[in-house]
A and B are shown apart, each in its own frame.
Chain A
Amino acid sequence: DQQVKQNSPSLSVQEGRISILNCDYTNSMFDYFLWYKKYPAEGPTFLISISSIKDKNEDGRFTVFLNKSAKHLSLHIVPSQPGDSAVYFCAASAFETNAGKSTFGDGTTLTVKP
């Protein structure tokens, strides 16, 4: 049973437009949700996070929205830049089990075209 799902394996957008990456989860025990970005031949790097007590968190061009009732979160990138082209992973963790044991989605490959 995959507890964190990213249903879109890939997304292509034009430079300057909005990129929206989606993530669904099934485990109500998750307290924190994080997004990571991964370039080829590198490890994932942390992008932005949100706790379950919030519904929005913003950091520059990146905004994460959480809809707890729908068990859905999304990452918005505005405006998208070619350097944003990477694989984006959604991850979730529960306070009790610690961040070290995070559950990741399969990733969405974002391509931003100049």
Chain B
Amino acid sequence: KAGVTQTPRYLIKTRGQQVTLSCSPISGHRSVSWYQQTPGQGLQFLFEYFSETQRNKGNFPGRFSGRQFSNSRSEMNVSTLELGDSALYLCASSPTGAGGSPLHFGNGTRLTVT
């Protein structure tokens, strides 16, 4: 099985712009989660989607949004970029997202905001 695929791998944007990141989960996985990792920090939960519905949301401003399509692929959007949004954005999938299920991560999208 192919793993979780995130595109693009790297992005450089300017403050005030918006960006869209893409994630293709493992085939058959219906739960997709997004995490932000900044230097020296753990993974901060952004949101989780299951069957095209946002099931959980973390403590991030409304500038961060996402969606999931019927094929379970997911996109994450950040509007009005700020310097502090520079981070590694990780997507993870699991079959159902049931408690205790291991998450399968992609290699991330490295976003740099200048």
A96 to B55, CA, bound (A): 11
Q: In the complex, are the beta carbons of A99 and B102 less than 8 A apart? A: yes
Which of A6, A42, A49, A93 has the most C-beta atoms of chain B within 10 angstroms of its own C-beta? A93
Q: How far is the CA of A91 from the CA of B42 in the complex (A)?
A: 10
Decide: A51 near B100, CB < 8 A? Known: A98-B56, A101-B33.
yes
A32 interfacial contact with B, CB 8 Å: yes
| Given known contacts A4-B42, A100-B33, A100-B92, A43 and B48 CB-to-CB distance under 8 angstroms | no
* Residue B4 interfacial (CB < 8 Å): yes
A43 touches B107 (CB 8 A): yes
A99 with B101, Cβ < 8 A, contacts A41-B107, A43-B107 known: yes
Nearest residue (CB) in B for A97 is B56
Chain B: residues with Cβ within 8 Å of the partner, total of 31
**Complex: A100 Cα to B50 Cα, angstroms:** 9
Residues of B within 8 A of A44 (CB): 43, 90, 103, 105
The listed residue with most B CB atoms (<10 A of its CB), out of A89, A98, A105, is A98
Q: Does B99 belong to the interface (CB within 8 Å)?
A: yes
Instruction: Establish whether residues B107 and A100, one from each chain, have CB atoms under 8 Å apart when the complex forms.
Output: no
A105 touches B102 (CB 8 A): no
- Which residues of A sit under 8 angstroms from B22, Cβ to Cβ? none
Q: Pick 17 A–B contacts, CB within 8 A, sort by A.
A: A34-B100, A36-B103, A43-B90, A44-B103, A46-B103, A89-B43, A95-B99, A98-B55, A98-B99, A99-B94, A99-B99, A100-B50, A100-B94, A100-B103, A101-B33, A101-B56, A102-B43
Binding site for A on B (CB under 8 A): 4, 31-33, 35, 40-45, 48, 50, 55-56, 58, 90, 92, 94, 97-108
